């Protein structure tokens, strides 16, 4: 392996007719880390992953994945990567064991080592009790663990995961991420797309995509420290009415209700955001308490996906 990055992309673009699904994406994913793609459905996450593994040809731009040019040398890349799609894509009418045996055959895994490797994966991903069960009859969490086991069977250097936890319960999500951290500690680079803020916070680095454009890139801590926004938390007896009043302040970029709390974003250029919020609430006779708060990743996402005129207000 050469270089510190498992993935380097420059100007990566994909158009489908008049639709530009990914627009001039620059990407540097360090080796041995979990790199996240955060964004809603339709933001270009899946399209980017498919270009990086050679399944889609870019309209423009270049990408180097594990020192291999894609899509030009994608055939050489395939043995080095594992790819787990959002939808369960294994064979539902085969047992867990038969699925693993089939994947071992596909990747030409050494026959002398297959039994030991499969037994290791069945144990690691808690599938021993399901080894003879048809994959199509398993729960969502069990299918997820089987898909991950199949994706890493051949010891890939890079693991590409396309919203892998979208259909499982919270405990299965936590267990899945624990498995990802163990893989990263052993040197596997992981690129994972998600629309869950709590999962994005677990990544070593992440990019935020919006309508095919990368609007932010960095560690979660770096992104939280560079929103360009004051974050004001407001507790009010009448949060719905308070939200309507605060939204009328010209400088307010966003105001969101979270239970009895409001999260208000105002540009750093506003000198006294607390006074602005308290002023409009007090003039309406609404009791409230406004305090400055630190940014969450959700605040970051809101800030970087605002309409330009709102962000610069």
Domain count along the chain: 2
Percent of the chain with pLDDT over 70: 96
Identify whether the C-beta of residue 251 lies closer than 8 Å to the C-beta of residue 276.
yes
CATH of the domain at 73: 3.40.50.300
What would the mean pLDDT of 68-77 be, rounded to a whole number?
86
The per-residue pLDDT for range 114-126, each reduced to its tens digit, is 999 999 999 999 9
**Pair (196, 125) in one structural domain:** yes
Q: What's the pLDDT at 204?
A: 96
What would the mean pLDDT of 67-84 be, rounded to a whole number?
89
**Pair (62, 211) in one structural domain:** yes
For the cut 60, the answer to whether the pLDDT of residue 312 exceeds it is no
Q: In the listed set 201, 223, 245, which residue is the last one of a domain according to the structure? A: 223
Query: Which pair of structure tokens corresponds to residue 116?
Result: 């030991």
pLDDT band with cut points at 50, 70 and 90 for residue 94? very high
For the cut 80, the answer to whether the pLDDT of residue 88 exceeds it is no
The per-residue pLDDT for range 11-47, each reduced to its tens digit, is 999 999 999 999 999 999 999 999 999 988 889 999 9
Burial class (CB in 10 A: 0-12, 13-18, 19+), 297: buried
Q: In the listed set 223, 241, 267, which residue is the last one of a domain according to the structure? A: 223
Where are the alpha helices (H) located in the chain, listed in sequence order? 45-52, 74-77, 96-106, 111-124, 140-152, 170-185, 197-200, 220-224, 239-246, 273-283, 297-304, 308-311
Q: What's the pLDDT at 100?
A: 96
Q: What's the pLDDT at 177?
A: 92
pLDDT mean across residues, the chain: 91
Give the domain range for residue 256.
227-311
Gap between the Cα atoms of 50 and 55, Å rounded? 5
**Pair (238, 215) in one structural domain:** no
Phi/psi for 2 (5° steps) reads -120, 145
For the cut 50, the answer to whether the pLDDT of residue 313 exceeds it is no
Query: Which pair of structure tokens corresponds to residue 212?
Result: 């095919």
Q: What's the pLDDT at 308?
A: 47
Gap between the Cα atoms of 293 and 277, Å rounded? 14
Q: In the listed set 205, 223, 241, which residue is the last one of a domain according to the structure? A: 223
pLDDT band with cut points at 50, 70 and 90 for residue 165? confident
Task: Compute how many other C-beta atoms are within 10 angstroms of the C-beta atom of residue 68.
Answer: 17
Q: What's the pLDDT at 117?
A: 97
Identify whether the C-beta of residue 20 lies closer than 8 Å to the C-beta of residue 8.
no
User: By three-state DSSP, how is residue 260 classified?
Assistant: coil
């Amino acid at each position: 392996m050469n270089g510190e990055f498992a993935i380097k992309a420059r100007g990566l673009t994909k158009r489908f007719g008049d639709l530009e699904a990914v627009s001039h994406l620059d990407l540097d994913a360090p080796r041995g880390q979990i790199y996240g793609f955060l964004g809603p459905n339709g933001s270009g996450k899946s399209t980017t992953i498919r270009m990086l593994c050679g399944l889609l040809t870019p309209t423009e731009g270049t990408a180097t994945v594990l020192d291999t040019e894609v899509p030009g040398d994608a055939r050489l890349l395939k043995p080095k990567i594992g790819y787990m799609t959002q939808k369960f894509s294994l064979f539902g009418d085969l047992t867990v064991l038969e699925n693993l045996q089939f994947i071992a055959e596909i990747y030409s895994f050494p026959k002398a080592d297959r039994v030991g490797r499969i037994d290791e994966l069945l144990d690691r991903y808690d599938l021993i009790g399901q080894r003879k069960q048809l994959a199509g009859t398993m729960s969502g969490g069990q299918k997820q663990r089987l898909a991950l086991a199949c994706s890493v069977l051949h010891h890939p250097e890079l693991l590409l995961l396309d919203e892998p936890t979208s259909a499982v319960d919270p405990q299965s999500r936590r267990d899945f991420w624990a498995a990802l951290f163990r893989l990263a500690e052993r040197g596997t680079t992981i690129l994972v797309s998600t629309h869950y803020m709590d999962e994005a916070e677990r990544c070593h680095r992440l990019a935020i995509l919006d309508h095919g454009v990368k609007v932010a890139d960095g560690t979660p801590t770096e992104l939280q420290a560079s929103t360009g926004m004051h974050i004001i938390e407001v507790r009010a007896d009448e949060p719905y009415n308070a939200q309507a009043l605060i939204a009328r302040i010209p400088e307010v970029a966003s105001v969101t209700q979270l239970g009895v709390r409001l999260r208000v974003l105002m540009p750093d250029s506003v000198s006294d955001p607390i006074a602005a919020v308290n002023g409009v609430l007090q003039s309406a006779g609404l009791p409230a308490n406004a305090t400055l708060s630190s940014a969450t990743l959700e605040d970051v996402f809101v800030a970087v996906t605002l309409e330009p005129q709102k962000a610069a207000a």
